[in-house]
Amino acid sequence: MVSLPGGTFLMGTDFAEGFAADGEGPVRPVTLRPFSIDRSTVTNQLFRQFVEATGYRTDAERYGWSFVFWLHIPRARFNEMVEDRVQAAPWWCKVRGAMWSAPEGPGSNLSKRDDHPVVHVSWNDAVAFTQWSGQRLPTEAEWEYAARGGLEQKLYPWGDKLRPNGEHRCNIWQGDFPNRDTAEDGYSGTCPVTAFPPNGYGLYSVTGNAWELCSDWFSADFHKTADRINPTGPPSGTARVIKGGSFLCHKSYCNRYRVAARTSNTPDSSTSHMSFRCALSG
């Protein structure tokens, strides 16, 4: 983990090409107490240690399925493996047997992926892990403060240009979403958590790779009038905040790989592009 001093920073964005309906703005000063946060998302190797120590079964295992991105399902077994698709986003397929240790469903495994972010974990699963590890999930404000790496009101952890000097700095989609990923950044799907340089605070992959769960309930407007000192989000809700974007984000559809961007997921849902990192108070 890395220890951060806290203090006041400018949270949110008024970026014209953002998603105002998500509640990305307004830009506002937020003050945080000191805290610590993981340098990377929890890896498959670490999550395996948790499972072996506790016998924990994830929500995906208990339900018997999880959502897998369609191009990652073996073509020869597609009709056999896919039970259903999300109507509004048909590239998301309900695959029976998909889980953290079988990310593409039955027959897949974690070979050569020990250092990738664990996926197919829900908010409930992430909280169970933190209870075992003695940590907690970061608040959205803590996550964004840490992700900015000390920079003020920049789009990305390194500045305002997605590819400075033509260099890829994160694992996102290149090509025609959702039909063809050219993988120009070197990866189609998740990548090792330290594959790209860290931000100014030493945090890896806060942009792209896998969405990261926060402790807050999601609201598009609660924060506009809420307390801005150590905010923890609304007292209740139906979905939890996720931040950072994933390997599926692309400017043509979902440019939520910006540090101020936000969206949500229900607490028991899991997908092949959602993970988490942990925090500690003080």
Residue at 82 is within a domain: no
Which amino acid does the sequence have at 232? T
Q: Domain residues for 184? A: 2-56+113-281
Residue 35, pLDDT above cutoff 90 = yes
Residue at 199 is within a domain: yes
Cut 0.95: pTM above it? yes
- Omega before 235 within 30 of 0, i.e. cis: no
Average pLDDT over residues 219-229: 96
Residue 152, pLDDT above cutoff 90 = yes
Three-state DSSP at 86 gives strand
CATH of the domain at 193: 3.90.1580.10
**Residue 253 pLDDT:** 87
Question: pLDDT-derived band of residue 256, with 50, 70 and 90 as boundaries?
Answer: very high
Residue at 261 is within a domain: yes
Q: Compute the 3-state secondary structure of the chain and give helix, strand, coil in percent, each to the nearest 5.
A: 20, 25, 55
Mean pLDDT for the chain overall: 97
Residue at 93 is within a domain: no
Question: pLDDT-derived band of residue 139, with 50, 70 and 90 as boundaries?
Answer: very high
Asked if residue 228 lies in contact with residue 31, where contact means CB atoms within 8 angstroms, the answer is yes
Asked if residue 280 lies in contact with residue 135, where contact means CB atoms within 8 angstroms, the answer is yes
Residue at 35 is within a domain: yes
Residue 260, pLDDT above cutoff 90 = yes
Average pLDDT over residues 235-260: 96
Residue at 20 is within a domain: yes
Number of domains in the chain: 1
What does the DSSP 8-state code read for residue 166?
Answer: G
Residue at 63 is within a domain: no
> From start to end of 7-121, where are the E strands?
7-11, 28-32, 35-37, 65-69, 82-86, 89-96
Residue at 100 is within a domain: no
Average pLDDT over residues 187-207: 98
